[in-house]
Every structure is written in structure tokens, then in C-alpha cells.
Structure 1
Amino acid sequence: MSFALPIDDVLPDLLAAVKTHGQAVLQAPPGAGKTTKVPLALLDVIPEGRIIMLEPRRLAARAAATRMAEILGEKAGETVGYRIRGESKTTAKTRIEVVTEGILTRMIQSDAELTGVSCVIFDEFHERSLNADLGLALISEIRGVLRDDLTLIVMSATLDAEPVAKLLGDAPVVTSEGRAYPVETRWLDKPRASKARLEEGVADLILQALDAEDGSLLAFLPGEGEIRRVEALLRDRVPADCRVFTLFGAMDFKAQRAAIQPAQSGRKVVLATSIAETSLTIDGIRIVVDAGRSRRARFDAGSGMSRLVTERVTKAEATQRQGRAGRLTPGVCYRLWTRGEEGALAAFPPAEIESADLCGLVLELALWGATDPSEMAFLTQPDTGMWSAAQSLLNDLGALDEKGLITAHGRIIAALPLHPRLAHMLVTCGQDAAPLAALLADRDPLPRHAPADLSLRLSALKNPRDASFPPDRGTLQRIRDDAKRLAKITAGIKPQRTFSTAEMAALAYPDRIALRRPGEDPRYLMSGGKGAILNAEDPLAGQRLLVATDLDGDRREAKMRLGLTISEAEIRGLFGARIVRANSCVWSRRDDRIHARTQERMGAIALSDQIWKDVSKDALAQEALKVWQELRPPFGSKSALFLARARLLTGQADVPDLSDAALYADADTWLLPWFVTANDIPRTSRALRSFDTLEALRSYLPHHILLELDRLVPAHFISPLGNKIAIDYSGETPAIELRIQEVFGTTQHPCVGTPPQPLRMTLLSPGRRPLQVTSDLPGFWKTSWADVRKDMRGRYPKHPWPEDPTEAPPTLRAKPRKR
């Protein structure tokens, strides 16, 4: 190899680590040359067996293999070849095989010992794809149990290498410093306005960079939509010597190759997604424009759906993008944010295992024989809730049994290069389902404004010329090619019967059979329990039953982007064993009432719904209690007073927990019997809120405790005159108010509860104005009484104000008039 790259300085250390330890972690910045130089250098160290190198994307796998073959003066498929989905260029003499990450999993599942493979390299591991994490966990187990001779190298540009090295049993870490060429970074002078459009800002920055710099330009945008809009903004504004190209994953390989090849003349502008971040050299690029946004798939276990979210890039991603400008010459990177904003960027993007649909991962591990992810050497363990959700879906599809073990059906669908949903559909329905499987596995070939009806896409697939809306020809051709490949794979499957398109879709999405809710808006409830909504103008909006095949993933109410009409007869034919007839009482929020219904249900949806005429009081009472517990209404004044008194006995034997939380939780013990025996069981929230719970609460306490309650914590204080004064238990301390003359002669302060708690006494004047608040009446007589007497004698001369109130009789009368 005649050309020099920064990786050359550490290749001897890497090869030495491989010889002595059999594994190593290589950390090298973008542009260091690790992708092309490391596999070739290993040819001399590993004289026999194949070297498998994993790349996260098909374009990168092709490009890396082609580049290494050029270095050797060969064509791809000789010493260096590649294998990706639907394409392979290898021969019997191929030593280095570049594959996408999913290919390695298939190799391992078909041959756990990886016969004929001597080395596995994980390139760009910092991307932390689900397949890379799974592959590394499987290889680690293979090295530990079956192949201690298998060489393992993990390469990354921006990932913290130490945790990976520790995961591999303290593997040696080799670090390459420096880039191929320096890159100057330029930031905005001030933050962009919050409402400024991203595409306009990127287009302006591209034009600014082209005016100030020489060479071709690579701009990073979050997705195809943004790329198309920036392309339109640049169409008539770029210099005459510039040609604009686009680069994203959904493009066909011919168009992708045109974007990465050297410009025939003049300069080129490449508008790309994160596909261009790693393992890919685009000839002539020395300017990078970074929009600062990245699009990621986020799976929500609560909704059971994935959605794409656009987020700010992380520092690691920004570093990767910046490095693209220095691959071949010194470069410059323009960032669409200020230097001050950079400090708020997260360090690394989340690993896909933290946010992706885990259905495929769970199935692969079940095929491997692992039902617990903690048994595997994952750098990041998957979320338990998301893991359980994936297991539940696979159980519904018949791929796993109740114990989480893989079934015979699961083994078949695991072998297909599809999401388990679509693989299950394909295995059940055979070749007829291949076009639908290919269509659902790809992006929508029709424009965004097209109706949601999936049959329009299938029609376009059969005859693009007759399509109601202009399809994307490249996407359509890719779907056709995939459909042919899937049909060939499933040629030997003989389904039990012929299935309609709607039935096929329902087999893939049994949790997304949607029933239209009552009302004018086209809102649906799906069998999995989640809500969905259609545009009111959509032709599908009037249909009673649909299968939702594509949703935007909103947690509250997902927008249905694609779906099909399905009949009730088709649902019953497919899922008859899952349809349950049951009587139930259900509270409707819409009309605020508990209804007694007889229903046939599939999951959360009711296919038939009739009045339950002979509903039992027990069933009604159970639902009333459930709603009462959900509403958590405040206790009425009488019940609140009773509870305040009873809580002063808490701690005594036989006194239950009377806190609000405990009473709401245990209401089936003390309140349910009163609902059952009520003449009219409350059915509305208003009736439930006003239901008198006093007698139910009294019955919750044993009889002897009630007697103790009336003795120790009475509802009234009996004054020396025999008057009943209501005790206020609503505050922190029980309290009463009464005229001061009414407690003349009282030498002990009144108490309630156990242990005894003094009443807070508000002593009133004859005009019922507060004179003193005390919890120590004897102390008041001895200290403050004299001052009170002095002030009050002149104001209320007709009332008694004795020097010693402890000796005076209680009274509420004024002094008799003198005659």
C-alpha cells in the first residue's frame, strides 16, 4: 500500500494485540483510514480463513469493498468481496468479505461455529445499531464457548472505547491520533430565530460556503423531505459550475453511486442524510455543511409503535460529519448553530437497543436459545418493558410459546429477511403475500397527499401507468424486485387457503385491527387498545373496520397513514379463537354512565354490542367501585368528620389504615357491599361523587372500636352547662369555640383521643368575639385571665368577670338588674 494514512502509525500495535490477545478495540478518528487499511493489513497476520467486516449500511459495504479491491489492483469479488441484502460479489478465493450487520446474524444462526471464518471486524461500532450490538454479543459467546481462536476487532471513531474493551474481557485498546487532513470549523455568529425554516437556513449556508471556498460540498440533512426541499431552493441559485446530487438510503444504487463518484467537471453539491457520516469517502469533498439535525426511530412500548423523530445532533455525530471534509484534502466545516449552542449538545446518540422495536432482537435471541437478555454480553441492556412488549407480540404471532421459547413457526419466520410481523404473514399466506410484504417493508411509493388506502399502492405496483397518484418510480422498482425475491424464497410454501389482501395485513398486524368509534370524527380503537385517527376527507374514513398498517406513533392518538378495509367475516375467519363473548359493565366517559353490555370482543374492540338485560347487581357494583376508585372523590362532610375522629385512634389494635390512599385502594373491602345493597347503584360520576359513605366507613370499624371512638374521640364536647359543642377535627388539632363564662369552674383542660390530645379552645366574649385561644385552660386562668378580666369588665359590665374563675359557677346569663 503506497499511500500513507494516520492509521499506519498504529497498525503494528493493532496487529501485535491481535497476535497476543486475539481481540482488540481500535479507536480512530474519521479519515484515519481504518476501514480500508485494517482488513488488508490482517491478510498477512491471518493467513487462512475469511475476514468478515461489518458495515452499518449497504452503500458503505459496497464502497469499502470496491476501494480495497482497487488498492489491490483487482475488482470486487476477488480477494475482497461483499454481501448485502439481494446482492453478493464473492468467489471461492475471497478472503475479505464486507457484509451488512444483519448478514452476520444470519451466518451465525446457520453455523454457530462460523466455519471458515478466522476474523470478525465490527466497523463504525459507535453507531450502536441493534444488529451490531446483537452481533457482538453473539460473537463474544462464540469466542468464549466454541471458537477461542476467532479473532475479534471492534473499530470506532467516536465511541468511548473503555466500556467496549471491558465488555470483551479487558481487550487491548489501540488509539490512532489525528486526521488525514485538518478541518477548520465555522459556526454561526448568532442563534437562528426559533421560527426560521431549516431548509432555507441550510440553502443560504451552502451558497455562502460555495462562494467562500473551493471544492465540492457535502451537506447533512435529517431526511429525504428536507433534502428535496433544499434541492428545490438551490436549483437556480448555485454557481454555474456546480451540480446538485442527493444521497439517502431509499435511493437505488445507481443514483447513490452517481452521488459519491468524482465530478466529471466543475464542482458537486451532495445533499445527504446520515448515510454519508461514516465509512464513505465522496471524492472531491472538502466542504461540509451540517444542518445540526438527525432523524431517529423511536419505539414506544406504551403505544407499541415506532415513530421517526428529528433531534439535534450529538457531539459525536457532529465530529463524524466534520471529518468528511478532511478525507482527501484540508477542509472546512460550516455548522448551522453557534459555538455557544454546541455546549448543550449531548455527547453520543442513544444506542438503537434503547429506542428501537426489539421484536427482531427477541426472536433472534430465542432462536439462539436465550430468553433473558441479561444472559448476553450487551454493552447496553434493553429496556424490560420494551422487551416484554416484543415477547407479547411474538407470542401473538405464534413465534414464541408461553415460556418465551421459539416455536417451529418462529424458526421459519426467523430465517426470512423481514420484520417478524411480515415474515409471519408471508409464511402463512405464501407467495401471494410477497408484493404486500415488500410494500410494507419499504417506504410509501405514493406522495404524502395520497389517500391512506393501501390498495392504491398495490395497484400502482401492478400497473404504474394507471396509478391515481404519480408513484416514485425508483421506490416502486425496488419494491417489485424485493417482491420477486420474497416470492422465490417462499416458493415451496403451500398455504391452507387463499387469503384476501386485508386478511394478509391483519395477520401481520393483529393488534391494529381498528373499529370506528361512535361520533362524526373518524376516530378508531385498535384491538391492541390504542387509538388512531384518519383525515376526515380520506375515502377510508367512513369504514367501520380497518387494518392500520402504518401509524405515526403518537402516544395519545396515532395518525393512520396506511390501512385497508376489512370485513367482520374476515376477522372472524382469521381470529375466531381469540374472539370472546362476555357480559360486562363499562363506564363510558363520552356520556358519563355505566352501561351493562353483552359483547363479542377481540382484544380491546367489540365486534358486537348489545344491552345486558339481566345484569347482576354484583357486576354493576364492581364497575361502580372501579369508577369510584378512578375518580377518587373527596369524602363528604359527615364522612370527613368521622374519618378525622377515627384517625386519632390509629395505632390501636383492630384499627385499619384510614388514610385516603388506603381507603381508595381497599374500597372493595368496605364500600363494595354498600354498592351491592344500595336500592339504586350509582351509575354516573355525579352520583358516585355524592354517594354517602358514612355508614360504610362506620361498618369498616369493629363495634368495640366504635364504642371507643364515641368515648375517646366524641363528636361533641359537653360543656359544664350540658351544652353539646361540635368539635372541629378538620385541622391539625381538634378545636372548639364557646363563651368563656361557660367554662367557669373548669380546672382540667378537655382532651380527646389516645394518647390524650388537648382540644384547642377558642374562648369567646359575650359578643362572640375571640378573647383567647388556648390548649391549657388552667394555665390561662393563672396567667392571662387577669388582663382579659380587666379589659372585659368595662366592655361587658352586665356579665360576670370573677377574680377567680375556677371558683365561679359556669353561666351564660348576664347579672340580674339591681332594683
Structure 2
Amino acid sequence: MSSTSFPIAPLLADIRASLATHPRLVLEAPPGAGKTTQVPLALLDADWLGEQKIVLLEPRRVAARSAAVFMAKQLGEDVGQTVGYRIRFENKVSAKTRIEVVTEGILTRMLQDDPLLEGIGAIVFDEFHERHLSGDLGLALALDVQAGLREDLRIVLMSATLDGEKLASFLDAPRLSSAGRSYPVAVSHFPAKREEALEHQVRRCVEHALATHPGDLLVFLPGQREIAKVERLLAAALPVPGVLLSPQSGHPAPIRARAIHGALDATPQVPASQLSTIEVLPLHGELPLEQQTHVLQAAADGRRRVVLATNVAESSVTLPGVRVVIDAGLAREPKFEPNSGFSRLETVAISQASADQRAGRAGRVAEGFAYRLWPQSQRLEPQRKPEIAQVELAALALELAVWGSSELRFVDAPPSGALAAGREVLQRLGALDAQGAITARGKRMLGLGTHPRLAAMLLASGEPQQVALACDLAALVEARDPLRTRSDALAQRWQALAAFRNGRVPVDANRSGLAAMDIAAKQWRRRLRCTALPPASAPAHALGDLLAHAFPDRIGKQHPQDPKRYQLANGRMLRLFDDSALYGEPWLVASELRFEAKDALLLRAAPVDDVYLRHAFAAHFQTSDDVRWDAGKRALLSERVERFDGIVLATKSAGKVDPALAAQALIDAVRDLGLGCLPWSEALTQWCNRVQCLRVWMPELGLPDLSDVALLATLETWLKPAFSGKTRLDALDPSELSGALKSGINWSLRQRIDQFAPTHINVPSGLQRAIEYPLDDHGQPASPVLAVKLQELFGLAHTPRIADGRVPLLLHLLSPGGKPLQVTADLHNFWANTYAEVKKEMKGRYPRHPWPDDPWNATATHRAKPRGT
């Protein structure tokens, strides 16, 4: 096929011109425009590229293989010459390769292994809208390389549904758009019957579409399991014997339907002449290359085809002849699963952008039809969420540690909490040191290209058969459960795998699942250059001993009083099912848990040998003298404690409390009991309130936060020194507490506190009266209060103010007997409008006290008039 026959062809000259003058480009082109294959080919002879390579990033293995094969065919070559590809466990490149199609993990390894990217002139990110974590990381690393080492490196982002304006602004890059070529697609919603399973709805829709519309069918399903179910249903509908089943069902050839009928009551049947010309084919990322190639090529004999695909067919691959799309509206996307500690594939509703892209597949060659299997009233999210916002980030944290910087430019920054949790996991695995720097072990783990937990397990032993067993475990942990019956024993899964290798499949096991695990384990042995075969049998603790290296935080010891509960190394507790196969095991390691409010529920685990633990995890066993606060006795207790991480193994009294350890224990007691357990005086409480008020009224002073929350968070800083040498809470007296609180504020600043928030104020009577500094329920300053007898303010025209004149006092005006008469923050208004009424009421009650007609000019006093006056 000539490059000029692709819709992208008129834009290729603009793409070349843009990249000749600017190192970055955002390219929007609809499905079928040809961007994936034609853009790299068009750049091969660019002057700025010279003899360097172009790396084309494809998020999916099917698309990577397909793109490489198609480009090689356009050049009249085999894959591996000018155009090659590299994906996990597969490499088709040579010294001649100048366009290298890679999946996302491969690109990250290329960048980490050679940050200069010698010999590479351009990186093209295809289908960037999918926003996989590896793709986001690859872009962030490439931008860092371009900014600091390779200004000549070209970076191109391509997709049909990306937010081009946002990305162009983020990259400071030109933005080009291709019109594409498509035909109208009629979209309708195919209703499900009451309580109908998805596979039965799909079968009815397939039969209806075959009988109603011309052309091939493309059916989008979330995963291999659903594809297999639909295949079986279509096969069961075939009345003619001798039908050959597809490899997806475990047999050698694709289904050739002899009769597919009965979609709806009024649906016409497929004409008899077509009964033997319908071929049903699966398409997903686990298929062998030759089967994928077969699906992506038009049928040589012109027969109609029904392609059952995962979302690998949503973009980057072209299926010739498709006129009808049937969309289940579902996809499997990675989500962080706290039960397992991994990101697992979860079936979720697709975005509206994906739904539109899928429907567009029906309009490539002529007018098409799209059936959606969800209610028309259901609303989809506009775009899919980036993986970086919803998956576990230990692997990303390890990549950043190797790169040596976490200050990278991400389109969406990784959540700080998830990143911190990922670093904590890496430290437990020995991949990072206490300062967060990469260790030699961490570098070896990264080179395996899998989750750090599994990498740690795969590197745990140098003994060949143990390595082979670890490969089995990696395959088991990554895969779906092959057993149909519930059991929490990981050993039963491995025993089913061992039986499968000997030609026996347990009745409660899934054959295809075990076959996939066996293949994955072989690939791991090949990656690790392990020539040993896994053992035919192994004790259960042999699995647990290896698994402990992947989940050191989930090693658990049986509770001494409750045999169904276990204390974990991370400090949490777990409980067993009532019928647990692991009941009675003293030690175990959990690979999968269901986290609940109190105890986690164990879903899958293996026993672990405590003798092995003491050898392999010797540094985690520690004995220490601890001093702790006993809330019941309200006293410190000194104990000698043996631990395995967060698991307490043994405790005995250590006798007299060690003063060197007591201060921290007292701090813990305050944290537990609250600040109210300390010897507060009213003066000290008011001093803290004065500081808090001035923080709001005069922020330029830079006073520290003395709120309860802040003080509790910094106990070690301000209070711990005051507990030095003390072994009781009540040994701290009020003056020592005051000194501890004020220790962080220098003498000059304390003087300014007294200046701007004084404890007392001089009133016209010549006396000093106290100012109260209240705080509201949220710890914010309320109006400062001056309670004073009315007669003491005669001659004062305006309300006194503090905080450099910024804050008026709230006057509580008292009667001669000390009872409240009026509350006001405006003394001038009180004298002018309210005093006369107060005088009229109070003069008869307090005749020996002055009530002048002119309070403005009267003499202030705190005394009654002399007798007889």
C-alpha cells in the first residue's frame, strides 16, 4: 500500500517541517489515518535524524508487532531489518534496524540504561491518550534528557483522542491535526434481557448483526475470559458436527460457523449460502504472533469474520473489512489492589472517548453500524483517568531512585502519599536505603522489569532449583486464581501447576489458566538464565520461605491467645477463615489479604519456617529495652522486648526505668492522654492564646503556631528536653512547662508579645486591669476582653486598642457591684446614646457612686463617694 493512500499523507510534509525547527510536536489524528506507520517512515530521511534511530512507543504488544510488520512490508523487508520491535520476552531487531517499535517498559529500560540515548534521534509516543504509567514515566524521562543532555532529541506525542491543547501547552510544542477518513456510523443500543449474562447478550447481538448487516464484525469484550465464553456459546449454536474450535478454547483451529441464528424474535436468519463462510477469531495480547497476524489480515477466501477482541483493537491496529462494531462498554484497567499489594486488572466502564473510538472502527471502509450493550441512559466519563493517579507506585519510586531525581515533569504529578508508600515498600525489600537512595540490590531488581516485590523474590536465592521455584511463584502471584474452589493455601495452586506439568489437571482447576502460568514460569526461567526445572514436589514452607522475600511486611506469627489471628510484621493483624487450610501454622506469609476495619482477612498465604526466617531475616530480629507508658497504672514500665519487625515475640520486665529512655515514653504518654495532662496555669494558657491571636493580627511577627494540633505534632522538639531525667508525668511543674513552651521564642520577640498583646492595661482610674484573650472553638482569636467598672472609664472618649492599634478591646462594663451592665466595642457610642439610660437605672441602686451627667469630662474613680457627700 502506498503512503499516499493514507489520510495522514497530506500532513506528512508539515510534520517533517515542524520537527526540523522545533524538537517537540503534538499530533492528533483519528483512527485509521495511518499515523502509527506512516509518520516514522516519513521521518527516516530527515536531515536532523541522520543515521540515528526512531523509537516508536506502542502501549500494547499486539499493536507493536502489527505496526512493525506493516512498516516492514511497506519497505519490502522482513521484520528485524530496517523496522524491528522489542516487547517483553521477545526481540526482533538487528544492527540494521532504524525504526524500533517498543512497548512502554522497554522504553523505560532504554532511558535508564543510556540517558544520552546515543544513536536515537526521535521518540514517538503513540496512543498517548491511554495514559499508562510507563508511558507517563517514559515521557517525563525523555523530557529530562532533552532538557539537560540532548537538545536535538525529537519527541512526538500522537493520538486520536488526547487533549491536544493541554499537551501542546504542557510541552510548549506545535500542534497538528489530521482530518482522517471515515464514513458515517449508525449507533444504537442493543438491550439486554432481564438478568441476562453479558456473553448471552453478545451472542444475540452477533447473530442479529450477521443477519442484518454486511461485512465483518468486531466485538469488544473486556478480557480473555469473556472472549472464551462467547466463543463457546457461538460454537454451541452450531448444529453441524465436526466444527473446529479456536485455540482460545484449547483446540487447533478457528471456529467456522455453519449456522448462527435467532438473535431476536423478528431477526432474519443468515442466508443458507453464508452458513459455512463465517469465521470467529479471538484477538488479545497473549495470542502467538502468527495468530495475531492472521486476524489482522483480510480473509483470503472472502469469508465473513467475527473478531472477538479486547481493547487492543481500539487503536493502533487496523482490521480490514469491519462494518459492524459490537461494544460491551467494558475494559480491564490496572487499579491498585491493597488486598494483594499490586495493581491488578479490574473490569471498568470505558470512557466516552473510548466508546467513540471503538464505534469509529465500523466506518473505515464504508458506512457502518455500532451496537452498544449498555443502556442509552448510562453516562460515561469523558476521558479515562491516568494510571499514575490510581495505581500502586513502588515501581515508579524505584525508577525515580535509579534516575536520581524525583523532580521530573509529569503531565499529572504522582500523588505524594502513594509515592511515599511505594518508597516504604522498597526500603523493606532492600531496594532503597534509609536515606532513600538506590542500593545495589535495587538496581538488580529494576533490571528484571517486574514489580519490585516479585523481583526481590526472584533474586532471593542463587540455588538453581530454588530460582525455578521462585519463577513458578512469580507466575502464580501475577496470574488469576486457577482454582474454582475457595482455599487460602498457596501450596494448592502450586500443586495444581505441578500436576498440570505431569499431564494431570485437578478437577477444581482451570486448564487454560495453568497453561498460561506454565508459559510465564518458563519465560521467567529464560530471563534469569535458569536451566533447572522446578521440583515435582516441595514442602509448603519452601514456597513461604521464598514468598517472604516479596512480602516481608506480611510475615505473620500466630497470636498466643487466639490461634485464628496473626500479628503481621507491619503491625497489623489478620484473621483466618473458619475452614482455613492454614489453621495451626505458627508462622505464615500472606500474598493476598482483604483489608477490613479491624483485622485483615487472609485470602492466600503459605507457611514459613521460623528457622529460615532467623537466618534470612536476621537483621529483623531485635531485642531492646523499652520504656512505655501504662495508661491503666498511669506509670512508666520498663521491659525487655524481643521483636520481629512489628511482631512482639517475647516480653519480660527490665526492672528500674532507665531515665535515658523515659523522656520519650513520657512524650508518648502526653500524645496518648492529650495536652490537658500537663500542669497548665491560667497565665500560661493566656500566654499561648496571646501568641495565637498575634499570629492572626500581626502575621509579620512570624510567631510559632502554639495550637493544640501543632504542639502535639512537635512534642519531641519543645517538651522532650523538659522531661530529661524525669520518670513521672507529675514531676514536671508549671514553671518548667512554661519554660519549655517559651524556649522556641527569643527574648526580643517575647518583649514584642508583651508590647502588642499586654496582659493588663492602664485605665483612667489609675489602676491596671487584666485583658482576657479568648479563642473560639476552631482555635481562632475572638475579641480581647477588658472587664472594668464603668466609673473607672470616665473621661475616656474612645475604646482602647491593642496590637499596634489594629484591634479594639471588647469592653465588659461593670456596675459598682461587679455585675455586667453593657458589652460594647464602641465606648464613644455608649457615652453618647446608652449611658443616660444606664445612669437612670443604676443611680438609685448605687447612690454612693458617681453618676455624672457629663461622663466625658468626669473624673474616673474606683471608689465610692465619701459619706455625707
Same fold per TM (> 0.5)? Answer: yes
How far residue 783 of structure 1 moved from its aligned partner, in angstroms, is 7.4
Q: Which residue of 1 aligns with 2:256?
A: none
Distance 1:630 1:94, change over 3 A: same
| 1:666-745 map, 5 Å | 681=729, 732-734=783-785
Alignment partners' CA distance in 1, 2:630 and 2:287: 49
Say yes or no: does 1:331 pair with 2:368.
Answer: yes
2:679·2:737 contact (CA, 8 Å) conserved in 1?
Answer: no
- Range moving further from structure 2, 428-437 or 133-142: 133-142
Aligned with 1:279 (options 316, 328, 339)? 316
2:327·2:373 contact (CA, 8 Å) conserved in 1?
Answer: yes
Amino acid at match of 2:520: D
Q: Which residue of 1 aligns with 2:607?
A: 565
SS at 2:548's partner residue? helix
How far residue 177 of structure 1 moved from its aligned partner, in angstroms, is 0.8
Say yes or no: does 1:422 pair with 2:454.
Answer: yes
Amino acid at match of 2:671: Q
Q: Which residue of 2 aligns with 1:182?
A: 184
How far residue 576 of structure 1 moved from its aligned partner, in angstroms, is 0.9
Alignment partners' CA distance in 1, 2:20 and 2:283: 40
Amino acid at match of 1:6: P
How far residue 277 of structure 1 moved from its aligned partner, in angstroms, is 1.8
Q: Which residue of 2 aligns with 1:505?
A: 547
Alignment partners' CA distance in 1, 2:720 and 2:118: 67
Alignment partners' CA distance in 2, 1:617 and 1:55: 63
Distance 1:764 1:674, change over 3 A: same
Q: Deviations over 1:657-678 (max 9, x none)?
A: 7654555456568866887899
Alignment partners' CA distance in 2, 1:493 and 1:422: 19
Gap runs ≥5 in structure 2: 238-261, 271-277, 533-537, 776-781, 865-869
Amino acid at match of 1:461: L
Q: Which residue of 2 aligns with 1:102?
A: 105
Q: Which residue of 1 aligns with 2:334?
A: 297
Q: Deviations over 1:262-302 (max 9, x none)?
A: 68998666554433322223454333344555543345999
Alignment partners' CA distance in 2, 1:774 and 1:150: 72
SS at 1:508's partner residue? coil
> What's the TM-score once normalised by structure 2's chain length?
0.68
Q: Which residue of 2 aligns with 1:688?
A: none
How far residue 574 of structure 1 moved from its aligned partner, in angstroms, is 0.9
Gap runs ≥5 in structure 1: 683-690, 812-819
Q: Which residue of 1 aligns with 2:470?
A: 436
How far residue 159 of structure 1 moved from its aligned partner, in angstroms, is 2.6
How far residue 573 of structure 1 moved from its aligned partner, in angstroms, is 0.9
Amino acid at match of 2:183: Y
Q: Which residue of 1 aligns with 2:528?
A: 490
Amino acid at match of 2:324: I
Q: Which residue of 2 aligns with 1:816?
A: none
Q: Deviations over 1:198-235 (max 9, x none)?
A: 95997599579748755554444555677678889998
Amino acid at match of 1:326: G
2:219·2:309 contact (CA, 8 Å) conserved in 1?
Answer: yes
Q: Which residue of 1 aligns with 2:591?
A: 549
Alignment partners' CA distance in 2, 1:552 and 1:585: 34
Alignment partners' CA distance in 1, 2:576 and 2:214: 50
Amino acid at match of 1:443: A
Distance 1:44 1:209, change over 3 A: farther
SS at 1:572's partner residue? helix
Aligned with 2:381 (options 322, 328, 345)? 345
Alignment partners' CA distance in 1, 2:9 and 2:279: 35
Say yes or no: does 1:372 pair with 2:409.
Answer: no
Indicate the RMSD between aligned Cα atoms, in angstroms: 6.2
Distance 1:63 1:595, change over 3 A: farther
Alignment partners' CA distance in 1, 2:601 and 2:62: 32
2:327·2:358 contact (CA, 8 Å) conserved in 1?
Answer: yes
1:202·1:291 contact (CA, 8 Å) conserved in 2?
Answer: no
How far residue 458 of structure 1 moved from its aligned partner, in angstroms, is 1.7
Q: Which residue of 2 aligns with 1:5?
A: 6
Alignment partners' CA distance in 1, 2:836 and 2:123: 97
Q: Deviations over 1:342-372 (max 9, x none)?
A: 6x7344531x4555455545555666xx301
Q: Deviations over 1:483-511 (max 9, x none)?
A: 234334434799xxx99332222223333
- Range moving further from structure 2, 329-338 or 449-458: 329-338
Say yes or no: does 1:86 pair with 2:119.
Answer: no
Aligned with 1:462 (options 483, 495, 498)? 498
Distance 1:576 1:87, change over 3 A: same
SS at 2:549's partner residue? helix
How far residue 453 of structure 1 moved from its aligned partner, in angstroms, is 2.2
Alignment partners' CA distance in 2, 1:618 and 1:608: 23
Amino acid at match of 1:63: S
Alignment partners' CA distance in 2, 1:538 and 1:462: 22
| 1:53-64 map, 5 Å | 53-64=56-67
Distance 1:295 1:666, change over 3 A: same
Q: Deviations over 1:547-576 (max 9, x none)?
A: 233457889976654322213322221121
SS at 1:320's partner residue? helix
| 1:205-284 map, 5 Å | 206=205, 210=209, 214-222=214-222, 238=263, 247-249=283-285, 272-284=309-321
- Range moving further from structure 2, 15-24 or 569-578: 15-24
SS at 2:486's partner residue? coil
Tell me how many residue pairs correspond in the alignment.
779
SS at 2:640's partner residue? strand
2:690·2:773 contact (CA, 8 Å) conserved in 1?
Answer: no
Amino acid at match of 1:64: A
Amino acid at match of 1:459: Q
SS at 1:507's partner residue? coil
1:301·1:385 contact (CA, 8 Å) conserved in 2?
Answer: no
Q: Which residue of 2 aligns with 1:32?
A: 33
Distance 1:727 1:733, change over 3 A: closer
Distance 1:555 1:131, change over 3 A: farther
Alignment partners' CA distance in 1, 2:93 and 2:709: 68
2:772·2:786 contact (CA, 8 Å) conserved in 1?
Answer: yes
How far residue 303 of structure 1 moved from its aligned partner, in angstroms, is 11
SS at 1:500's partner residue? helix
How far residue 30 of structure 1 moved from its aligned partner, in angstroms, is 0.9
Alignment partners' CA distance in 2, 1:473 and 1:371: 45
Q: Deviations over 1:598-633 (max 9, x none)?
A: 323344333444444433466455334334335546
How far residue 518 of structure 1 moved from its aligned partner, in angstroms, is 7.3
Distance 1:640 1:463, change over 3 A: farther
1:209·1:287 contact (CA, 8 Å) conserved in 2?
Answer: no
SS at 1:540's partner residue? coil
Distance 1:182 1:7, change over 3 A: farther
Alignment partners' CA distance in 1, 2:371 and 2:201: 10
Aligned with 2:617 (options 575, 583, 588)? 575
- Range moving further from structure 2, 77-86 or 238-247: 238-247
How far residue 455 of structure 1 moved from its aligned partner, in angstroms, is 1.7
Distance 1:744 1:605, change over 3 A: same
How far residue 318 of structure 1 moved from its aligned partner, in angstroms, is 3.4
How far residue 810 of structure 1 moved from its aligned partner, in angstroms, is 8.0
Alignment partners' CA distance in 2, 1:592 and 1:270: 72
How far residue 475 of structure 1 moved from its aligned partner, in angstroms, is 3.2
Amino acid at match of 2:66: A
How far residue 463 of structure 1 moved from its aligned partner, in angstroms, is 1.0
Say yes or no: does 1:628 pair with 2:682.
Answer: no
Amino acid at match of 2:8: I
Distance 1:273 1:541, change over 3 A: farther
Aligned with 1:158 (options 158, 161, 176)? 161
SS at 1:477's partner residue? helix
1:199·1:229 contact (CA, 8 Å) conserved in 2?
Answer: no
Identity %: 36
Q: Which residue of 1 aligns with 2:246?
A: none
Q: Deviations over 1:355-396 (max 9, x none)?
A: 5455545555666xx301446x76556556655655555555
> What's the TM-score once normalised by structure 1's chain length?
0.72
How far residue 461 of structure 1 moved from its aligned partner, in angstroms, is 1.7
Q: Which residue of 2 aligns with 1:685?
A: none
SS at 1:451's partner residue? coil
- Range moving further from structure 2, 99-108 or 771-780: 771-780
How far residue 512 of structure 1 moved from its aligned partner, in angstroms, is 3.2
